[in-house]
Structure 1
Amino acid sequence: MSNWAELTTGGRIKHLRGSDLTQQGLADAAGVSLALVQKAEQGRGELSVGSLLRLAHALRTDVAVILGQQAPRRGMRQDTRTALRRLADAVHDSALGDWDGLDDPSTIAELSAVHGRACSAYWRGEYGALSELVAKVLLEGSVQYGQATGRDREQLGSLLAGTYQFASSAAILLGQRDLALSALTSARRLATTSGDEVLVALVESTLSWIHLRSAKAARAVTVAERAALRIEPSFSSSPRPQLLAFGRLMTSAAVAASRKGDATAANDYLSQAHAAAARLGRDESLHGTHFGPTAATTEAVGIAVALGDHGRALRLASRTELPGSMPKLARNRYKLDVALAQCAAGLHDQAGDTLIEVGLDAPEWVRHQALPGVIGQRLAKVSTARVRTISELIGVPLIA
């Protein structure tokens, strides 16, 4: 097979489909029309992000593989394979209790500090460093958790739950859904045992996101809404952690509803997220989750893009100032939404500049995102030379 990135998107879909699956079979599995599959393989027309997600799920791969940003598993970069292997070993060995290499155990305070560094690595998109830190907390923490009692056990349980959650989030970003669900199963069990209803709600937020990444938007909405109802706050008296979790869940539901094309539900959920953000009054972070006025506003831009209201997305973006405290991944995910809206509005030079900003700011993370490929293909209709220049600058193949 030729270099994966050199194939067309249609060629990659056809190769992934193989001879055992007909075009009709792929259409049925993805829940799309036969005509869409035929046009996709022939390179006619543009695939929406939603269609790409459905095709990727049916082909048991990631959108980035379809777009040529990532090769199939055996073509994955060595550093990414190493990070994934480390994450998988830590998640499975700690859950099974098969690790006994604890000679000089870290204290709970020391493990908490490592967890904090893992949080920072995740939000910077540094998966190699993240996998090392996650492995330390999960392997050492799980051994101690089995022997701890009382307050120590509660603290370790919360710490482990949060760390499994980071492992899950990283795994789904790297296209490993089974590993993500395995890690989140452990996170949910420990969070429930800890009795921390906010932590439980935030774990459910991650589950909603996994379903969304797996093209199961309806399930993503259901999970987020159900979890939000369990902690629905009284806006006049609820504790701030509860407001944060509720706002994050309402945002998750809004994003998922927008991917279904349900503008009414998306806007209803988003209005509740804005209400929670207004009540908080400032951006806050809890258990590695960020929410507040900035998150509500930037997510509104992405929701407008998903609903096809690119003018509204750009108007919102023009009034949005990003604080320096905004996590790198959240900032760049927002910028990709802006670039997509700029493409749709014919602002191709601006879209290209925005894509370059993202690629230079988060080079490891951007390789595993679907939108750069979507944006690149749309920009290529105006200037393939510009897109190839952008590809070289950010180190991500955007077009064949």
Structure 2
Amino acid sequence: MSNWADLTNGERIKHLRGSDLTQQGLADVAGLSLALVQKAEQGRGELSVGSLLKLAHALNTDVSVILGQQAPRRGTNRDTRAALRRLSDAVHESALGDWEGIAEPSTLTELSAAHDRICAAYWRGDYAELSELVAKVLLEGSRRYGQVTGRESEQLGAILASTYQFASSAAILLGQRDLALSALTSARRLAQDSGDVVLSALLESTLSWIHLRSAKVPRAIAVAERAAMQIEPSFSKASRPRLLAYGRLMISAAVASSRSGDAVSADDYLSQAHAAAARLGRDEALYGTHFGPTAANTEAVGIAVALGNYGKALSLASRTELPSSMPKLARNRYKLDVALAQCAAGLHDQAGDTLVEVGLDAPEWVRHQALPGVIGKRLAKVSTARVRRIGELIGVPLIV
């Protein structure tokens, strides 16, 4: 494909539509005429702002992508677009109170059970189920939230905030920054209303991650550091939730510092994370956020990779055991770091094997990661044919 900015608006719309959506299908989803879509792709005439917005929504992208101001994310198929559309509708309609159910909304117990399923779906990379459950919890939960008071209101507010957080995390993984920020804005308001300071801190770790994914590294560090200072525990008598949140925030700051090449700060933050993990003594999860010795050890490998210390990364990896309870996506994100270190160390066959493991284990998730392409380019210097085979095997084009 040519440079994205060099294409015409029509060529960009056609590329975003892909082969699995017809022009008529795009017209139906966007609420536009077939003739308008055809003219748009042929570059005949200027699109109105309204038509651009409708096309961007139907294609689950931003107007800036259609206009060539930023490139699209790779590998978005029909199922992923449908999941993103459900997430977007749920986030915005729930904030507006637009649920139109004919029966009573689900109970707190039912919504709590659905939230647990959202957590499981997110960590195995099942965005179709995730989006369906998020829509249920946000739309029905928001309606019930306005009907209850006291302790039930606090509990329901925490469930809704955490659900918005999952929607935000999924959106940023799938390249939808604006949707991620919208969801997180609703989450922060609910967490504050519930009075749960730990949940509020965990939301800030997500905000730090969004800034990092958006290449706003200083902001990512500042957000994590500020939130950590507000919840910093006394290690001798800290509650386990505070230790978990503090450790996760220190990981966020360490990762962001490593991306800017600041090894000293990264090591300082990482040492604090290891201290919190040691105090916990075991891996734990709260509101779907995982932290403990495993997270501290695996993130240390990724930080070493980001700093270019590949030998150290492989040495740490050789001493790191992955428990069966480790979430699938966390495990595979760690393996991508290991594959990059193997590649840099000249262990090309091992790097290729690791990349195949990840692609087969999390096929939908891996399409939205940048590292497979980086690893593929490096491996292609040794064997283009093998990289093509790996790409075909895992369903990700590693060589353009």
Deviation track 1:308-343 (CA, whole Å, cap 9, x = no partner) reads 100100000011110000000000000000000011
Query: Which residue is 1:197 aligned to?
Result: 197
Separation in structure 2 between the aligned mates of residue 102 and residue 155 of structure 1, nearest angstrom:
24
Query: Which residue is 2:116 aligned to?
Result: 116
Q: 2:70 aligns with which of 60, 71, 82?
A: 60
Separation in structure 2 between the aligned mates of residue 376 and residue 311 of structure 1, nearest angstrom:
20
Q: Is the CA contact (8 Å cut-off) linking 1:247 and 1:273 kept in structure 2?
A: yes
Q: How much has 1:105 moved relative to structure 2?
A: 2.3
1:369 aligns with 2:369: yes
Change beyond 3 A, Cα 1:102–1:159:
farther
Separation in structure 2 between the aligned mates of residue 18 and residue 186 of structure 1, nearest angstrom:
36
**Amino acid in the other structure paired with 2:70:** R
Query: Which residue is 1:187 aligned to?
Result: 187
Matches within 5 A, 1:162-311: 162-311=162-311
- How many residue pairs are counted as aligned between the two chains? 343
- State the structure with bigger RCO (CA 8 A, min sep 6), 1 or 2: 1
Q: Is the CA contact (8 Å cut-off) linking 2:224 and 2:249 kept in structure 1?
A: yes
Query: Which residue is 2:137 aligned to?
Result: 137
Structure 2: runs of 5 or more not aligned = 10-64
Deviation track 1:253-308 (CA, whole Å, cap 9, x = no partner) reads 00000001111000000000000000000000000000000000000000000001
Query: Which residue is 1:156 aligned to?
Result: 156
Q: How much has 1:18 moved relative to structure 2?
A: 5.5
Separation in structure 1 between the aligned mates of residue 8 and residue 269 of structure 2, nearest angstrom:
43
Deviation track 1:21-52 (CA, whole Å, cap 9, x = no partner) reads xxxxxxxxxxxxxxxxxxxxxxxxxxxxxxxx
Separation in structure 1 between the aligned mates of residue 6 and residue 116 of structure 2, nearest angstrom:
42
SS of equivalent to 2:308 = coil
Query: Which residue is 1:350 aligned to?
Result: 350
Q: Is the CA contact (8 Å cut-off) linking 1:84 and 1:171 kept in structure 2?
A: yes
SS of equivalent to 1:290 = strand
Q: Is the CA contact (8 Å cut-off) linking 1:61 and 1:175 kept in structure 2?
A: no
Separation in structure 1 between the aligned mates of residue 6 and residue 145 of structure 2, nearest angstrom:
45
Change beyond 3 A, Cα 1:371–1:246:
same
Change beyond 3 A, Cα 1:311–1:17:
farther
Q: Is the CA contact (8 Å cut-off) linking 2:255 and 2:266 kept in structure 1?
A: yes
Separation in structure 2 between the aligned mates of residue 225 and residue 16 of structure 1, nearest angstrom:
36
Between the aligned residues of both structures, percent identity stands at: 77
Query: Which residue is 2:4 aligned to?
Result: 15
Q: How much has 1:100 moved relative to structure 2?
A: 2.2
Query: Relative to structure 2, which stretch is displaced further, 128-137 or 95-104?
Result: 95-104
Separation in structure 1 between the aligned mates of residue 70 and residue 369 of structure 2, nearest angstrom:
16
Separation in structure 1 between the aligned mates of residue 88 and residue 141 of structure 2, nearest angstrom:
16
SS of equivalent to 1:242 = helix
Structure 1: runs of 5 or more not aligned = 1-6, 21-55, 71-75
Q: Is the CA contact (8 Å cut-off) linking 2:105 and 2:143 kept in structure 1?
A: no
Deviation track 1:195-232 (CA, whole Å, cap 9, x = no partner) reads 00000000000000000000001100000000000000
**Amino acid in the other structure paired with 1:137:** V
Separation in structure 2 between the aligned mates of residue 100 and residue 162 of structure 1, nearest angstrom:
23
Query: Which residue is 1:84 aligned to?
Result: 84
Q: How much has 1:16 moved relative to structure 2?
A: 3.1
TM-score when normalising by structure 1: 0.84
1:384 aligns with 2:380: no
Separation in structure 2 between the aligned mates of residue 190 and residue 345 of structure 1, nearest angstrom:
47
Which of these two proteins has the greater Rg computed from alpha carbons? Answer: 2
Separation in structure 1 between the aligned mates of residue 292 and residue 227 of structure 2, nearest angstrom:
19
SS of equivalent to 2:238 = coil
Q: Is the CA contact (8 Å cut-off) linking 1:102 and 1:140 kept in structure 2?
A: no
Q: How much has 1:104 moved relative to structure 2?
A: 3.7
Q: How much has 1:59 moved relative to structure 2?
A: 4.7
Query: Which residue is 1:393 aligned to?
Result: 393
**Amino acid in the other structure paired with 1:116:** D
Q: Which runs of 4+ in 1 moved over 6 A?
A: none
Separation in structure 2 between the aligned mates of residue 346 and residue 15 of structure 1, nearest angstrom:
33
Separation in structure 1 between the aligned mates of residue 4 and residue 266 of structure 2, nearest angstrom:
36
Q: How much has 1:102 moved relative to structure 2?
A: 4.7
Change beyond 3 A, Cα 1:258–1:102:
farther
Query: Relative to structure 2, which stretch is displaced further, 268-277 or 100-109?
Result: 100-109
**Amino acid in the other structure paired with 1:325:** S
Change beyond 3 A, Cα 1:215–1:307:
same
SS of equivalent to 2:99 = coil
Separation in structure 1 between the aligned mates of residue 317 and residue 125 of structure 2, nearest angstrom:
23
Change beyond 3 A, Cα 1:61–1:179:
farther
Measured on the aligned residues, the alpha-carbon RMSD in Å equals: 1.5
